[in-house]
Amino acid sequence: MGELPVLLARLEAAWRAQNMPIASRLRRGVAEADLRAAWAPHGVTPSQETVEWFAWHDGADGEMWSDVLCTPATRLLTVAQSLDAYTSHLVVSGVEELMFPTWVPVAGTMHGSVVAIGCTESPSAGGAERGESLVANITETLEIPDVQYRPPVTTMVRWWIERHESGTWRWEDGHLVDHAMADPSETERLSGLV
């Protein structure tokens, strides 16, 4: 087991500590074989960290965004929602040349973009060493961030944990409030992360 499952458990504990609705709406995880079978028709082989992500939980159930928020503007996707997002965000003219072949959406934002995990093929492909998984925030209009703005998925999850545990993101009166928005220097410091 890598570092990601440990971090995801800590993130879930932070949600439970704040009594966030998502904590009680998380779906059971997906077996690796089932995840790989779901993606096989698309010719996509999920990275190990993508497998670990969906083994943790297959998204969350809820009709309203406030029921399934994991950050102030992000919700976890189920495998089915991930496949839909892949079709709408990644399988369009020209993207094949821009993306690595293993990018899989794992979260969606209120702004219409997806957070996708991709496994880099090699350091020469513009990614991190040892083929570690990176994340990118991808819009339907193909505003794909430069490689320097694709942090490892563990960095993104650590950042989410830090925001929740520090109280920067707090569940208040039925909303997940981002208290960093009041501090422009904090916003600027974090602008490169998902």
Domain ranges of the chain: 3-189
Whether the model clears a pTM of 0.85, i.e. scores above it, the answer is no
- What pLDDT does 56 receive? 97
Q: Within 13 Å of residue 101, how many CA atoms lie on the same side as its CB?
A: 8
pLDDT at residue number 131: 45
Residue 59 has what pLDDT? 96
Crossing angle, helix 48-56 and helix 153-166, to 10 degrees? 40
Question: Which pairing describes strands 133-138 and 74-76: parallel, antiparallel, or unpaired?
Answer: unpaired
Pick the CATH number of 3-189 from 3.40.190.10, 3.40.1580.10, 3.40.50.300, 3.40.47.10: 3.40.1580.10
Residues of the chain under the 50 pLDDT cut: 93-98, 100, 121-131, 140-148, 191-194
pLDDT at position 186 is 53
Measured at the CA of 33, the angle between CA 27 and CA 37, to 5 degrees, comes to 95
From CA 146, how far away is CA 78, in angstroms rounded? Answer: 27
Q: What is the pLDDT of residues 32-80, one digit of tens each?
A: 999 999 999 888 888 888 999 999 999 999 888 888 899 988 999 999 9
Q: Please tell me the predicted confidence (pLDDT) of residue 22.
A: 95
pLDDT at 45: 84
Q: Tell me how far CA of residue 84 lies from CA of 38, 61, 142, 177, in angstroms.
A: 12, 16, 16, 28
- Amino acid identity at 125: A
Identify the DSSP state of 143.
Answer: -
